[in-house]
Amino acid sequence: MSDAPVAVVTGGNRGIGLETCRQLAALGHRVVLTARDAAKGEAAARKLGAGVEAHRLDVTSVTDATALAEHLADRYGQLDVLVNNAAIGYDTWQRVSTADLHQVREAAETNVYGPWQLVQALLPLLRASRQARIVNVSSGAGAIDDLGAGTPAYSITKLALNGLTLMLARDLRHDRILVNAVCPGWVDTDMGGGGGRPVAEGAAGVVWAATLPGGGPTGGFFRDRRKIPW
């Protein structure tokens, strides 16, 4: 069996997730590209070619998280990189004072509870790695100093994801698992809209955090490899 590192990327069928899969595969990782839509995941994995396999995953589903853990245990026996990229709810049309709280709760299921649940399900496999890394793809929209009144569902859930990052980093420090949040910046994706910078530039910071050497930073919030304020 190959000793190449194993990486899971959620929401890997498009945008930052797809490009992160591409870059990790180019670095020699065995990449498990996950997507809520199985057909879209398979198509994306075929596009990327050797070294990338698709696996259906709805991050809000306990059953799916358990099935992924079982698949990884059977096929690889460990997990070296978990990139929590899947996210929804970029609600530019909302203001915090009038927000539809149903939409906020729905966003939280994917953006906060999904990554949290997945870390718990995959933690035994991450602990089996000699150099495990968890990367939570966040956003400057969730930085507390920059919070505004708009995009309330997206912003508040990214703020919570940042908090989860810090707590996990402190909890897993003795396991030598590095946990960081990365803002890819405003990127030209379906969610971010047109006019942003190339997807490859945004994903590069995610890949940097996913491949940090031993002794690298943990519990940080980064953009383009530089620490940014929470």
Judge residue 97's burial from the number of C-beta atoms within 10 Å of its C-beta, 0-12 exposed, 13-18 middle, 19 or more buried.
exposed
CATH class entry, domain 6-227: alpha beta
**pTM for the model:** 0.96
Q: Residue 105 has what pLDDT?
A: 98
Task: Give the pLDDT confidence score for residue 24 in this predicted structure.
Answer: 98
CB 168 within 8 A of CB 112: no
pLDDT in tens, the chain (230 residues): 478 999 999 999 999 999 999 999 999 999 999 999 999 999 999 999 999 999 999 999 999 999 999 999 999 999 999 999 999 999 999 999 999 999 999 999 999 999 999 999 999 999 999 999 999 999 999 999 889 999 999 999 999 999 999 999 999 999 999 999 999 998 876 655 566 899 999 999 999 999 999 999 999 999 999 999 99
Which of 76, 90, 113, 154 is the catalytic position? 154
**Is 154 a catalytic site residue?**
yes
Predicted confidence at residue 196, as pLDDT, reads 80
Beta 221-223 vs 226-227: how paired, if at all? antiparallel
Domain residue limits, the chain: 6-227
Kindly report the three-state secondary structure assignment for every residue of 146-160.
HCCCECHHHHHHHHH
The reported pLDDT for the residue numbered 67 is 98
pLDDT of residue 59: 98
Say which amino acid occupies 62: V
Beta-ladder partners of 133: 81, 178
pLDDT for residue 1: 46
CA–CA separation, 107 and 57 (whole Å)? 16
